[in-house]
């Protein structure tokens, strides 16, 4: 019992522990962007009213000035992807003069739809379809293929599958006939989109779409 007062005195004399400092955070407003689309990156818990050096994939990218709370926001265009690149991950890093550091990643994608092989008799050709970028507006949507005749009328609507992943892609469907019916001669349009039934896509359409012409000639 004699030791209890000494123990209490020792605890009372111990200094209070300071709250842990917040770690710097870097984040983009979306996880995936169409190539050349505006990306918004924001940072918090950096040094107040100070420049933050930003790099992308370890290459100097620019600077952003923080506000008195140590936060900033900056906008830039997502990189244009190479001809044969459909989707790519980029790493952003921010560091200030106090060596507060944070990193984040984002993806850039092409809006893409096609089939392989792309040569052969369209009346008998079997292909695999693939799409990229169809999840930019809606998470993991179903993707449909609409066959539009040379007269501009929808002949058939076919569900290809669900576009999965951060940007929304179908890497490859099973083999199927390019035309699942006997197609007349002329210029057909294959429209890929996220609508169950066909409506002609335009630049004002509020959904992801790709249109591809296919010409059928007489044998």
pLDDT for the residue 6: 40
pLDDT for the residue numbered 98? 94
CA distances from 13 to 2, 5, 16, 17, 99 (A): 18, 12, 9, 12, 34
- Interacting residues of 20 by C-beta distance below 8 A, sequence separation 6+: none
pLDDT for 21 equals 62
pLDDT tens per residue, range 53-88:
999 999 998 999 999 999 999 999 999 999 999 999
Does 45 score more than 70 pLDDT?
yes
Residues 93-100, mean pLDDT to the nearest whole number = 96
pLDDT at residue 12, as a whole number: 42
Q: Spell out a b/e string for 99-118, using b for 16 or more CB atoms within 10 Å of the CB, else e.
A: ebebebebbbbbbbbbbeee
pLDDT tens readout for residues 162-187:
999 999 999 999 999 999 999 999 99
């Amino acid at each position: 019992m004699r030791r209890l007062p000494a123990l209490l005195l020792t605890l009372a004399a111990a200094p209070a522990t300071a709250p842990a400092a917040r770690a710097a955070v870097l984040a983009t407003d979306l996880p995936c962007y169409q190539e050349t689309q505006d990306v918004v990156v924001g940072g918090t818990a950096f040094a107040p009213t100070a420049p933050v050096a930003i790099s992308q994939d370890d290459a100097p990218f620019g600077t952003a000035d923080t506000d008195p709370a140590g936060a900033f926001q900056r906008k830039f265009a997502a990189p244009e992807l190479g001809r044969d690149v459909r989707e790519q991950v980029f790493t952003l890093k921010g560091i200030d003069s106090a060596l507060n550091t944070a990193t984040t990643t984002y993806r850039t994608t092409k809006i893409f739809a096609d089939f392989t092989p792309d040569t052969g008799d369209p009346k008998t050709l079997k292909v695999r379809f693939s799409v990229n970028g169809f999840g930019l507006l809606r998470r993991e949507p179903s993707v449909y293929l609409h066959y539009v005749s040379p007269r501009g009328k929808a002949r058939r609507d076919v569900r290809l599958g669900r576009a999965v992943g951060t940007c929304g892609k179908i890497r490859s469907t099973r083999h199927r006939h390019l035309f699942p019916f006997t197609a007349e001669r002329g210029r057909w349009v294959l429209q890929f989109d996220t609508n169950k039934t066909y409506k002609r896509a335009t630049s004002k359409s509020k959904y992801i779409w790709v249109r591809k012409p296919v010409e059928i000639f007489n044998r």
